[in-house]
Structure 1
């Protein structure tokens, strides 16, 4: 078996074991030597597979001996998903329109879930909105806070997959939104409108009005892109 492909065999075995319940979060993977012998691959291929899994956020590795040594399956891989999305975005692997459409789907789901959740906690989002009222914010500073607001709402929804995807797309969102700001003639007026829209969205969420929250978030996102001359079939 070519060494360049052998590490994929290791990934496939671990994936199968996870799907079939033979491995669970907290379990320790077999030692490198055992994995290599069982799968008929070199230990270098096993190490390569483990590096990939660690970057993906699926395992944590420790050296030496004892309870923290070896490769352990972890239960919070969302950091790996965010990292992979950020890399794809940085490499321009996703068309701009697809990023915007995905954002619309994700953020509509976020406000819908929050509005329906009587135990919602959106204090972090409100703190960001309050920070955006500062009069001395530059457009760049304002838009960094804007991205943080949308991420805070995603995190408040409790959906780890959506929060991870939003975190992964954040750099793309910031880049496009910042580029659009340069094309806006009256930034102060736009910032005032965005502040009002943010508060209206949070008001609908706090009022448990999911339909209005979805309508507002859709109009908020598409409206900015249209005003900044970025919209290309995003409605």
Structure 2
């Protein structure tokens, strides 16, 4: 099949799945028909179907697994932060997106989130997610890599209290995009033992401000926290 025709066949499958998701014909957890069925439905090659499925996997829309068990097949999952994080990570690695700009964008979104969390209708159970992560980070036996993973989850948990799914997804994506920089920074320096104590202190202050619904203080503290970390990690 000529490449232009193959591309149109690929796009036809993507448009069909997009329309099915929008209309509700397909929902999270549903399985797509097999390659052969989709190829017959669209009158295209199975190779074109596979290309479309791969694109959907990269976009975080589906998960594919081979075999014949209950977890096999192509399932609608919708994991936007994974897809966006992967794309951002590649562009940061290529230096097309400077790390400094990603950090500034993160500060803008996270300060906005904590300001809005002060008046958002979250409950104590939602805040407990961040509280458990805060307590887990007090374990002195944690490696730097595990600590920074919990740290990332803590920031996303607090930001999600604002109730904006797009901002929460972008926050998660940006943390993923710069995770390698963070891991390298904390493991290549001999000052981690001193840094981790400061990070814990910062986290407690941010958490307490959020818990008190003091959005202005929470936003200021998280700005200072992120700025402090990147100055010491760079």
TM-score normalized by the length of structure 1 = 0.71
Deviates more, 1:53-62 or 1:200-209: 53-62
Distance 1:185 1:29, change over 3 A: closer
Q: CA deviation at 1:205?
A: 0.7
- Aligned residue pairs total 224
1:107-134 alpha-carbon deviations (Å, 9 max, x no partner): 2233234322352522122222223223
**Contact residue 61 and residue 69 of structure 1 kept, 8 A:** yes
- 5+ residue gaps, structure 2, are none
More helix by share: 2
After TM superposition, list the pairs within 5 Å mapping 1:215-230 onto structure 2: 215-228=220-233, 230=234
Cα distance per residue 1:19-75 (max 9 Å; x no partner): 5x37452677677667556755334313321343245343467999xxx99867x4x
CA-atom RMSD, angstroms? 3.9
Unaligned runs of 5+ in 1: 231-235
Alignment of 1:119 onto 2:123:
yes
Query: For the residues of structure 2 that align with 1:59 and 1:187, how far apart are their CA atoms?
Result: 39
How far is the alpha carbon of 1:159 from its aligned partner?
A: 4.1
Q: Larger deviation: 169-178 or 218-227?
A: 169-178
Give me the whole-angstrom Cα distance separating, in 2, the residues matched to 1:106 and 1:38. Answer: 43
Report the TM-score when normalising by structure 2. Answer: 0.71
Instruction: Say if 2:147 is the partner of 1:142.
Output: yes
Q: Cα–Cα, structure 1 residues 30 and 175, in superposed 2: closer, same or farther, change >3 Å? A: closer
Judge conservation of contact 2:145–2:183 (CA < 8 Å) in 1.
yes
Kindly report which structure 2 residues correspond to 1:56-75, keeping only aligned pairs within 5 A, or say none.
Answer: 56-59=59-62, 74=76
The Cα shift of 1:156 comes to: 5.1
Contact 1:82 1:168 in 2 (8 A): yes
